[in-house]
Amino acid sequence: MSTVEDFTHFPLQAWEKVKSKVKRAVVFMDDGCAEALHWSGGAAAFLEAGARNIKQFSSFEACSVNEPKAVFVVSTLLKGRTVDIIKDIISVSHFQYCVVFTSVPHSAHLLANKVTAEMDGNPVFEQFEEKLCEWMGNMNYTAEVMYAPVLFAPISQQLIVTPALAHLFPLLSPDLVTINAKRPEKKKFASLNDVDMHSLPLELQIQVKSLVSALNFMFEITATREETFAVGPMSRVITGELANHTQAKNRRKTALNKASIIFVDRTMDLTGAVGHHGDNLVEKVLTVLKLLPGHVTDVQVDILELTNLQRTPHSQNILAPGCLAQNQSSTARSLWEVMLTSKHKEAVMEVRRHLVEAASKEKLPVKMSMGRVTPEQLCSYVKLFRSSREALESHCGVLQLGLATAQTLRHPSLARWDACLAFERLLLQTLGDSDFPAVLRQLLPLMNPRGGEDSSSSGVRFREDECGPDELILLLIYLYSLADEAQRTGRDAEEEEELEKLERELIGALTLVITQETELSPLLQKLTGERKVSAIKSVIAPFAKLALRRC
């Protein structure tokens, strides 16, 4: 059987093909691939392989005359905006050698170009190579385009994620309506379980093909013959595509190892995604600290306390943030594993132990404290390293994890976390004894603008344990995903009308809560499509008040 190490290290092997081309090159990388690299050795891996620089994949980037080689690493199709950006960068630079890596397989490029027949070679990639030479201004210059499955980010020995496919989500009921709208009456699907790969929107088909191709690479590297199981409509589509993958059929004949792979639609367990489970440190860190720009799996750690700078409104713009991904230090990696897999109390104590051991090793004046671990205590240990640059560099991984823990423990939203956890437990107790409207009614008292109705004008500060719009939305999702667990009653028309009235009241109250926020959270920006409260206030506030009056 393949070992855990085989599956942990295969994402690093996916990058070897890219690293072999980066010597004396400037590398341009999009967010999806950059995040995968972030957990697979980081920028240091490319610089050690000979890269001259690593830049954002943006039309506003360029290279000088003495930088003739470029490597582009993207997680998207070589079409549309991606092509425009590559052309923009090449047009204002002086390249003589361009290499493009895409994590989208050639078969998906054929699909995007509406080519259904099997073709020899990689004609789409070959045509793009000609375009690269044309943009460089000389058809005798060198251009290469190839596939590299650099989608996987090894978060830990037990967890691998695909940041570039973060938006790949299971099909929902509205998707069935959209799919059926384009099909003849006699060929409409009765349910999501009947949907097949070819009926999916093109963009979704390409994402599935990218995932399947990357999974096949994983099984090739680990010499594995997979036995797949699917739970949910989307998982069935993915397993079907994997079963029919051309290269997979050849691999299974010679694979030495065997593994059972279970695909589960996220919609089968929404409570696991939105619930506040309360007993894991990393879960809290990822929830309360801000994400790194362009990332979906790592957060910003304020490292000001590792310096002698004074905290001012502008100090955050001076220092680049720290993070959770610590690839260079084995000690930091072992601490990260403990934080990820242990209970909250054990993980926090382990963070303290690592900080004390690091300080003792560097002969810093550390005083070991017993009893409860506090954020002030952790910060006091971290500050000891300010006086020694060598000590700071040797233990920077552990120090960043220590600061992430301290900043989480003292974060004001942690009180709201505990309040949500308590309310979720109350809802679970109530679900078995009451009908759904009765359980839903318990959310109404929470649907109040934080700090009271006049908080924006009177300057009243909201209590730290008051739920904001984000928490209220998560609680609603949590509750509706468990609706079938509520006590079943034979609803008549009057009860259905009562439920609809209650839902309108909740919608109106939640909308008013949103409009009275001072700024929109990232979640609300995604849901509303707006960046400022003022942009939505004039539109939805009147409807919210009307909904409340009708109730």
The residue ranking higher by pLDDT, 116 or 12, is: 12
Residues 304 and 348 in one domain: yes
Distances (CA, A) of 361 to 77, 332, 354, 495: 50, 15, 10, 68
Question: Does residue 208 belong to any structural domain of this protein?
Answer: yes
Tokens of 22: 């980066």
Q: Got the DSSP string for 118-140?
A: --SS-HHHHHHHHHHHHHHT-TT
The residue ranking higher by pLDDT, 153 or 430, is: 153
pLDDT for residue 352: 95
pLDDT digits (tens, 9 = 90+) for 278-320: 689 999 999 899 999 999 999 999 999 999 888 887 777 788 9
Residues 34 and 129 in one domain: yes
Residues 331 and 383 in one domain: yes
Q: What is the dihedral of CA 273, 279, 285, 287, to 10 degrees?
A: 30
Q: Distance (Å, rounded) from C-alpha 47 to C-alpha 224?
A: 32
Residue 487 pLDDT exceeds 70: no
Average pLDDT over residues 123-128: 96
Residues 136 and 24 in one domain: yes
Residues 352 and 234 in one domain: no
Determine the structural domain holding residue 396 and report its residue range: 281-409
Residues 258 and 323 in one domain: no
Looking at every residue in the chain, the average pLDDT score rounds to 88
Report CA torsion sign: 237, 39, 287, 278: positive
pLDDT for residue 36: 96
**Lowest mean pLDDT, pick from 40-44, 67-71, 257-261, 521-525:** 521-525
Average pLDDT over residues 191-201: 93
If one counts the domains in the chain, the total is 4
Read off the CATH number of the domain in which 54 is found: 3.40.50.2060
SS (H, E, C) 33-98: HHHHHHCCCHHHHHHHCCCCEEEECCCCCCCCCCCCEEEEEECCCCCCHHHHHHHHHHHCCCCCEE
Q: Distance (Å, rounded) from C-alpha 261 to C-alpha 268?
A: 17
Question: Does residue 2 belong to any structural domain of this protein?
Answer: no
Report how far Cα 88 is from the mean position of its chain's Cα atoms: 28
Residues 264 and 355 in one domain: no
The residue ranking higher by pLDDT, 500 or 134, is: 134
Average pLDDT over residues 219-232: 93
pLDDT for residue 499: 84
**Lowest mean pLDDT, pick from 271-285, 328-342, 530-544:** 530-544
**Buried/exposed code over 252-275 (b: 16+ C-beta within 10 A; e: otherwise):** eeebeeeeeeebebebeebeeebb
pLDDT digits (tens, 9 = 90+) for 522-534: 888 888 888 887 7
Distances (CA, A) of 546 to 404, 511, 537: 44, 11, 14
Question: Does residue 433 belong to any structural domain of this protein?
Answer: no
Among 273, 292, 323, residue at a domain's last position: 273
Tokens of 508: 């109106």
Question: Does residue 440 belong to any structural domain of this protein?
Answer: no
pLDDT for residue 398: 97
Q: Distance (Å, rounded) from C-alpha 543 to C-alpha 21?
A: 57
Task: Find the distance separating the first CA and the last CA of the chain, reported in whole Å.
Answer: 62
Q: Helices (DSSP H) in 410-450: which residue ranges?
A: 414-431, 436-441
What is the helix (H) or strand (E) element at residue 212, kind and residue range? helix 202-221
The residue ranking higher by pLDDT, 241 or 8, is: 241
Among 273, 291, 325, residue at a domain's last position: 273
Residues 123 and 206 in one domain: no
pLDDT for residue 367: 81
pLDDT band at 513 (very low <50, low <70, confident <90, very high): confident
Question: Does residue 96 belong to any structural domain of this protein?
Answer: yes
pLDDT for residue 451: 57
Question: Does residue 180 belong to any structural domain of this protein?
Answer: yes
pLDDT band at 458 (very low <50, low <70, confident <90, very high): very low
The residue ranking higher by pLDDT, 468 or 87, is: 87
Bridge partner list, 258: 225
Q: At what angle do helices 344-361 and 281-288 cross, to 10 degrees?
A: 90
Distances (CA, A) of 36 to 20, 81, 166, 328, 411: 17, 21, 12, 16, 28
Question: Does residue 332 belong to any structural domain of this protein?
Answer: yes
DSSP single-letter state for residue 305? G
pLDDT band at 457 (very low <50, low <70, confident <90, very high): very low
Bridge partner list, 231: 264
pLDDT digits (tens, 9 = 90+) for 372-407: 899 999 999 999 999 888 999 999 999 999 999 999
pLDDT digits (tens, 9 = 90+) for 488-505: 666 567 778 888 888 888
Among 273, 293, 310, residue at a domain's last position: 273
pLDDT for residue 485: 65
Model confidence, pTM: 0.89
Residues 390 and 455 in one domain: no
Tokens of 405: 């823990």
Question: Does residue 249 belong to any structural domain of this protein?
Answer: yes
- Percent of the chain residues past pLDDT 70, beyond the cut: 91
Average pLDDT over residues 232-256: 91
Residues 16 and 45 in one domain: yes
Residues 242 and 319 in one domain: no
pLDDT for residue 537: 66
CB of 88 within 8 A of CB of 59? Answer: yes
CB of 131 within 8 A of CB of 85? Answer: no
Residues 240 and 288 in one domain: no
